[in-house]
């Protein structure tokens, strides 16, 4: 673990986790889906690294970025159509190649047992999010699950965090966002929440440069780091 502890960081009443790149390593599935879509337009596949760099701002942004990187940028109706074509493909690639991020199960279970209210706020669509969380056995421990299409404005807007916290009945000032990208920091700041970033997810900018209150090497560092704040208080 490294990074600076901001003044707003304290042991939280609620933790809102990001999904892709934070709880699960879904890039292999998302990459497979995007490559299947590109193949329908006779375009060659993207690498896993390319796919990783396009995740975090929702499926529509992923589709837009994928076609641009393939030398066939789409706009307007053509982009809308590609986005519609992506939906059934994406739904078939949710849990085939996706794995848990290190410590995800243990850390969620730890904070659940510790009495911290837990939620997920992701830019992944709601139905897909539920399916992934169900597959990995998270749903019983989560009091709020908010997908990107469950709100008007996805992260970095604060809407999904506000909705999750409303369901958990916890104020933003008492809650912590845990994520992997600039969208998570932006959303947390806009919501008035503290934010911890975990290395190893999907971000083009190094996590230490994104202005989080703390950066962890792994989710597994989180319990010690947060309980340390409690004993220091
Ligand atoms: O971009 C997506 O579809 C999902 O990304 P997130 O879970 O990191 O918010
Ligand atoms: Mg993410």
Q: How is the chain classified by DSSP, letter by letter?
A: -BS---TT----SEEEE--BTTTEE-HHHHHHHHHHHHHHTT-PPPPHHHHHHH-SS-HHHHHHHHHHHTT----HHHHHHHHHHHHHHHHTSSSSS-EEPTTHHHHHHHHHHTT-EEEEE-SS-HHHHHHHHHHTT-GGG-SEEE-GGGSSS-TTSSHHHHHHHHHHT--GGGEEEEESSHHHHHHHHHHT-EEEEETTSS-SS-GGGS--SEEESSGGGHHHHHHHHHHH-
Confidence of residue 153 (pLDDT cuts 50, 70, 90): very high
**CATH label of the domain that carries residue 131:** 3.40.50.1000
On whether residue 36 sits in a domain, the answer given is yes
Rounded alpha-carbon distances, angstroms, from residue 52 to 21, 62, 137, 140:
9, 10, 24, 29
On whether residue 3 sits in a domain, the answer given is no
Cis peptide bond N-terminal to 156, omega within 30:
yes
On whether residue 195 sits in a domain, the answer given is yes
What does the pLDDT average to over 40-54? Answer: 97
Q: Which ligand is nearest to the CA of 22?
A: 2
Taking the CA atoms of residue 152, residue 34, residue 27 and residue 65 in that order, the dihedral angle to the nearest 10 degrees is -60
Q: Is 58's C-beta closer than 6 angstroms to any atom of ligand 1?
A: yes
Between the CA of 176 and the centroid of ligand 2 the distance, in Å, is 15
For the chain, give the mean pLDDT: 95
Q: If we measure between CA atoms, which residue out of 31, 28, 17 comes closest to residue 62?
A: 31
Q: Are residues 67 and 104 in the same domain?
A: no
Calpha distance 35→41 (Å, rounded): 10
Q: Are residues 47 and 72 in the same domain?
A: yes
Q: Are residues 19 and 126 in the same domain?
A: yes
On whether residue 202 sits in a domain, the answer given is yes
Q: Are residues 43 and 131 in the same domain?
A: no
213 is known as an active-site residue:
no
On whether residue 6 sits in a domain, the answer given is no
- Phi then psi for 61, rounded to 5 degrees? -65, -40
* pLDDT score at 232: 66
Atom from ligand 1 closest to the CA of residue 121: 9
Q: Are residues 154 and 188 in the same domain?
A: yes
Give the distance from CA 109 to its chain's centroid: 18
On whether residue 7 sits in a domain, the answer given is no
Q: Whose CA is nearest to atom 1 of ligand 1?
A: 56
On whether residue 2 sits in a domain, the answer given is no
Between the CA of 155 and the centroid of ligand 1 the distance, in Å, is 9
* pLDDT score at 2: 43
- Domain boundary at 73, 91, 109, which? 91
Tell me: the pLDDT tens digits for 167-215? 999 999 999 999 999 999 999 999 999 999 999 999 989 999 999 999 9
- Domain boundary at 91, 124, 140, which? 91
**CATH label of the domain that carries residue 76:** 1.10.150.240
The residue range of the domain holding 204 is 14-25+98-232
Calpha distance 196→185 (Å, rounded): 8
Tell me: the pLDDT tens digits for 5-16? 444 789 999 999
**Total domains, the chain:** 2
On whether residue 204 sits in a domain, the answer given is yes
Say if the ipTM goes beyond 0.95: yes
Half-sphere exposure of 225 (CA within 13 A, CB side): 24
Between the CA of 59 and the centroid of ligand 1 the distance, in Å, is 8
Q: Are residues 82 and 107 in the same domain?
A: no
């Amino acid at each position: 673990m490294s990074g600076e502890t901001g003044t707003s960081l304290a042991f939280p009443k609620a933790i809102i986790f990001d999904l892709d790149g934070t709880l699960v390593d879904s890039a292999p599935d998302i990459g497979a889906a995007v490559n299947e879509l590109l193949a329908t337009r006779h375009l060659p596949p993207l690498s896993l690294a390319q796919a990783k760099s396009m995740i975090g701002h929702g499926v529509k942004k992923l589709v837009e970025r994928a076609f641009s990187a393939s030398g066939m940028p789409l706009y307007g109706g053509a982009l809308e159509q590609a986005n519609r074509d992506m939906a059934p493909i994406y739904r078939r690639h949710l849990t085939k190649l996706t794995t848990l991020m290190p410590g995800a199960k243990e850390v969620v279970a730890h904070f659940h047992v510790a009495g911290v209210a837990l939620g997920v706020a992701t830019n992944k669509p709601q139905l897909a999010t539920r399916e992934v969380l169900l597959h990995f056995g998270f749903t019983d421990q989560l009091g709020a699950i908010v997908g990107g299409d469950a709100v008007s404005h996805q992260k970095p807007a604060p809407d999904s965090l506000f909705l999750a916290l409303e369901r958990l009945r916890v104020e933003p000032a008492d809650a912590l966002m845990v994520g992997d990208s600039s969208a998570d920091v932006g959303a947390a700041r806009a919501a008035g929440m503290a934010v911890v970033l975990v290395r190893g997810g999907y971000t083009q900018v190094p996590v230490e440069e994104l202005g989080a209150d703390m950066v962890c090497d792994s989710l597994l560092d989180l319990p010690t780091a947060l309980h340390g704040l409690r004993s220091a208080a």
